[in-house]
Structure formats: structure tokens, C-alpha cells
Amino acid sequence: MNILVPIKQVPDLVEELEINASGTDLDREWLKMKLSEFDDHALEEALLIKDDQGANVTAIALASDDIDKALFAAAAKGADKLIKITGVEGSSTHEAAKAMANVIKSMDYDMVLTGVQAVDDRDGQLAVLLAHYLGVPHISVVTGVQASGGSVTVQKEYGGGMVAEFEASTPIVLGIQAARETPRYVPVAKVRRAMRGSTIDEVDAGDLGVSAGSTVSKMYKPDSGGGAEMIDGSAEDQASKIMEILTQKGIK
Amino acid sequence: MSNQILVIIEHLKGNIEDISFEMLGKAREISGSAGAELVALLMGSGVDGMVGQLGIADKVIYVDDTNLAEFNPQAYCKTVSEVVANNQPKMVMIGNTSMGMDIAGGVSVDQNMPFIAYVSGISGDGNTITSSLYGGKMNVDSALSGDGCIVSVIAGSFKADAGRVDGSPNVENASAPDLSGLSIHFKQLIEPEGGDVDITTQEILVSVGRGIQSDENLPMAEELASKLGGAVSCSRPIVDSKWLAKTRQVGKSGLKVKPKLYLTLGISGAPEHIEGMKDADLIIAVNTDPNAPIFDYAHYGVVQDIFDIIPALTDKL
């Protein structure tokens, strides 16, 4: 079985985000990037399937700063092949999906597993856009995948903890919400070994001819005007104030 | 392009989901100022009785087909795409929900229509569309390059009551596109397993997020919750790490709660979480990051290490 896993880097939200001078994007100069957590789950699910029943796992990413490190980390975790797509100018998900589709359509694959969403995919989620550019069916918000032969059973999460189960034939694109296990950790030393031991195939994106159909006119921090009344002081002071509020509200 | 706003109605187990009414209410506001026609698209099998709950719409397009009896990503996407192609609405509103995420992007590609996701605000004239990105840390306004767009709306962004109007709107029965040869088949709905605690009935919830760092720290939160007379709930990462059962999860894919007190410990407040708790009577948030979006929704905010606050608070109870 061949499983393709599109991955990408996103800003690490633990860091403070600043807006650029034109007010339309993040100030990316000092931005710390990390693998999108949902892509991490997609990669984990692919690797678990490989562990269980054997599979060839290929990690695919668009070229960007630091992406080589993310690809080598995927190899260190168990990905068999690494592909980097070059020649994509824009940053929209539509362009990324079309570029991925151009490269993937000539490949032999059973499943594409990628993150259900990313923190910055303003014009839509990659999985569903990619599936439609490929003309292949798609299921999103997936929390379980059981593949056998040419078919796959998929669990899709609804609200309230309800799960819908589908049976589908391959090839299929799945937007992974969560892998069945916590994504594996890989030590830096192992990533370094992967950098020496594996290669990244570079492939051109080809003709895109698509766009998001919209642009960012303004980026701003959400209005915290209606936000919280902040309680200052030491932890001890703050705890006392919380107790006061709870008493006032008749909670304690 | 027609002067039409098309709202995709979502329903599960015979109930129209709140997100549908939230979008209908907002769509009515926009259509009112733009003189647009508000059209609701209802798909299913034998669910025509739901039309009576869609009285706010000028028209309901009803597509009845056995292949649409249960949600099916492929069948629903094809059907919405066909209705969009036939009606050319200037705006298509779809929930940013599990079902909506299977539809919106597909229609965008198939009908070559711009798609703006994670929408949390639309101006009354419909011209300013705001998305909540970066885990709720940034708002982004989008400018359309041309006419027509699909928006996927985050649940809880608009008031459901505004769209919940009984009545008998005009119904246009439309036939489904050819749905033979689907490669995705619905098998079953799996109900959540009952947990030890029903967090939706608890009056006091102490809710933990990534900031709790390890399952070894959970007993601290549990002690605090029990001293407050409540229970521990959590955000998604805690369930993904298997530290707490799925039944304790608050948010988009978890449960919606409305306790008297919702005390968050180390929850940043991504839109998926906010969706499940924003209506709590009293929200007190503790987080080390002063820019955490949770502080925009909490009544009281505490910037502090939770491992300092938890013992200080527990001691006082």
C-alpha cells in the first residue's frame, strides 16, 4: 500500500504573533515555525498503518524555509520517501492543493492522509481541495482508518462525540483530525542521521492557474474590548480575588 | 450570478443543527440590506417536515433522495455543487462543521468559486468577511477579487434565535444529480460511550488544556474541582493524549457546556474550544500567555502559572 502524506509548517502559536507593516500578514521575520499539528497526526496514522500491515509512506511538502528539516524529521519517524515541490509563488491553499495534485496525479497511491486543517488555511482546507483537483473522493475530520485490500473503513467525528462510520474504495483523500496514538517523538540525533541517510526529491509544481479568489485586506488582533477583567498581583493575591468573586456570585 | 444567498441546512438524527439557524439569521440580515433572496438548501430523505422550521427563508430548495438519507461527503458535495451551478448564488453559507468541511472546499473547486473559511463575522452589507485564524489569535478580513463566494461559518458566531422562525416558505423540489456509483458508503452512527461524569449537567467545571503539561498533574485539577463541588473537563489535546476520556472534552468535536462556573487552566482558547463554552455564566481563565484568545471570552482573566494558582486556590477552599 502506498500512502502519501502532504505536510506543512505553520507559525508556532506559543510565540507572540506580530503583524507586518502593511497590516495584511504576520511579521514573518522572526516567526518560529513548526509542523502543523494535524499533519503530525496524519503522518502518525500513516506510520501506524505501515507498522501494522506494511506500507510505503511518502511525505510531500511545498518548498519553504525550514521545510527540509520537517521532511527529514518525517523520514526519521519512518517515512520512506521525501518529495519537495518547487515553483509555487502564492500562499493560498488552492495553489498548494493544485501543486500537490499536479505532482500526485501521476503517482501510484492508495491513500492521501493530511491534516484536517491548519491554523492559517484561510481559503479552505488542503485535503478537500486536493481531492477535488485530483477527482478523488474525500472524507474529513477522520479519527480512525482501517485499510484492507482496495477498501477502507473510516471513522469521521461529528459534534458531541458522535462518530459516523463510512466504507470507501481507494484511492481516497482523508483529512485527519487525530491519529489513534499520540504522534511519536523523534530525537534530534535521529533527525540528523536521517539528513545524512535520506534524500529529498525535488519536483516542479507545473501549471497552477488557480487562486484563492480573495486576498487579505486587513489582519488584526481580535478586539478584546469586551474581554476579561484582568486580575493582577501574586498568585496568592489572584487566588484571593477569585475566591471573592466566587463568593459574590454565590458559587462558593 | 443571481442576487441570492444560499444557506446549506445541516441536520442529524432528525434535528436541524443550531449552526443552520445561526447562518439563516445572519443571511436574513445581509439579504435585507442587499435586497437579496434568502434560499435554504435542505437535503435528505423524507425530511420535508423540517421545512416548517425554515420560515425565515424566502424559498427552500428541497432535494429528496435515498442516497442523501444519511450524510455522505461525496453525495452531499455533488448535490450542493449542482444546486450552486443551477442557481449561481452570490454567497453560499456552509457551517465550518464536520459535515460542512466535506462540502465547502469541494464546491469551491468544482464551481470555481472563491472560498473563505473559518468565518466568525460578516458585516450587515455582506461586504466585509472576517475569518478567525491562528487559533483565534488573529482576525483577517478578506477582499474578494470577483463576484460570488462560499463562506464556512464557525458555529456560535451568530445568534441561532435570529434564524429560528417557523413558517411555510415556498418550496422548490429539485432532483439530486446522478448519485449512482458512489465510492463512499455510510455504515453506521456510533453514539458516544457514556462516561463516568456528564459534564453537560455539571454546574462547576475546572477545564484543563495543554498547560497542564502531563497527566501526572491532573490530580491537582481534580482536587480543585472536587473542592469546588464540580468536575474536570478539558480541551481537545488532552483527549488526543488519552489523559482524559472523550466524554470530558468541551468544544466543536466534544460537548457544549453552560455551567455556572467555567474555570480554565492552561487553555489558550482556539475557536474550536470557544464554540463549546462561550455561553457559561461565569468564565475565569488562567493562562501564562497574556495574548491568549481565551481572555477575550472570559469574564475574569489571570495571567499566571497554573501550578501556582491551583494550590493557592485549593488551600482557600
Tell me if B182 is assigned to some domain: no
B180 belongs to a structural domain: no
Query: Kind and range of the H or E element at A145?
Result: strand A138-148
Alpha carbon of B262: minimum distance to chain A alpha carbons (Å): 11
Mean pLDDT (whole number) for A126-149: 96
| Nearest of B62, B55, B105 to residue A140 by alpha carbon | B105
Characterize the bridge pairing of strands B91-95 and B4-8: parallel
Of B74, B52, B50, B54, nearest in space to B64 by CA:
B50
Distance CA B104, CA B136 (A): 21
- Residue B234's CB is within 10 A of a number of other CB atoms, namely 32
Distance CA B111, CA A146 (A): 32
B138 and B215 assigned to the same domain = no
More confident call, A52 vs A160:
A52
Q: Is the peptide bond before A183 cis (omega within 30 degrees of 0)?
A: no
Are B248 and B139 part of one and the same domain? no
Q: Indicate the pTM of the whole model.
A: 0.93
Do A188 and B258 contact (CB within 8 A), yes or no? no
Residues B152 and B260 in one domain: no
Which residues are CB-contacts of B198 (< 8 A; sequence separation ≥ 6)? Answer: B247
CATH of the domain at B13: 3.40.50.620
- A93-104 helix and A126-134 helix, angle to the nearest 10 degrees: 40
Banded model confidence at residue A224, pLDDT cuts 50, 70, 90: low
ipTM, two decimals, is: 0.94
Measured between beta carbons, which residues in chain A are less than 8 angstroms from residue B284? 242, 245
The C-alpha of B55 sits at a distance from chain A's nearest C-alpha, in angstroms, of 25
CATH number of the structural domain A2-204: 3.40.50.620
> Do B47 and B110 belong together in one domain?
yes
- Domain count for chain B, please give it: 2
Cβ atoms of B209 and B265 within 8 Å: the answer is yes
Residue written as grid cell 446522478: B178
- Give the pLDDT confidence of A68-79 residue by residue, as tens digits: 999 999 999 999
Same domain, B149 and B216: no
Residue B40 lies in a domain: yes
Domain, as residue range, for B244: 199-315
Structural domain contains residue B289: yes
Same domain, B169 and B204: no
User: Does a structural domain hold residue B164?
Assistant: yes
Measure CA of the first residue to CA of the last residue in chain B; give whole Å: 63
Q: Does residue B31 sit in the same domain as residue B163?
A: yes
CATH number of the domain residue B285 falls in: 3.40.50.1220
Please tell me the distance from the alpha carbon of residue B258 to that of residue B92, in angstroms, as a whole number.
31
Q: What's residue B127's pLDDT?
A: 87
| Residue B112 sits in the same domain as residue B259 | no
Do B29 and B152 lie in a common domain? yes
Chain B hits for A144, CB-CB cut-off 8 Å, are none
Average pLDDT for runs of 10 along chain B of length 317:
95 96 97 91 97 98 98 98 97 98 98 97 92 96 89 96 96 96 97 86 97 96 96 95 94 93 96 94 96 94 97 95
Asked whether the beta carbons of A219 and B139 are under 8 A apart, the reply is: yes
Could you say which DSSP state residue A233 is in? S
Using the beta-carbon criterion (under 8 Å), do B187 and A166 form an inter-chain contact? yes
Q: Do A166 and B135 touch (CB under 8 A)?
A: no
Does B143 contact A163 at a Cβ distance shorter than 8 Å?
no
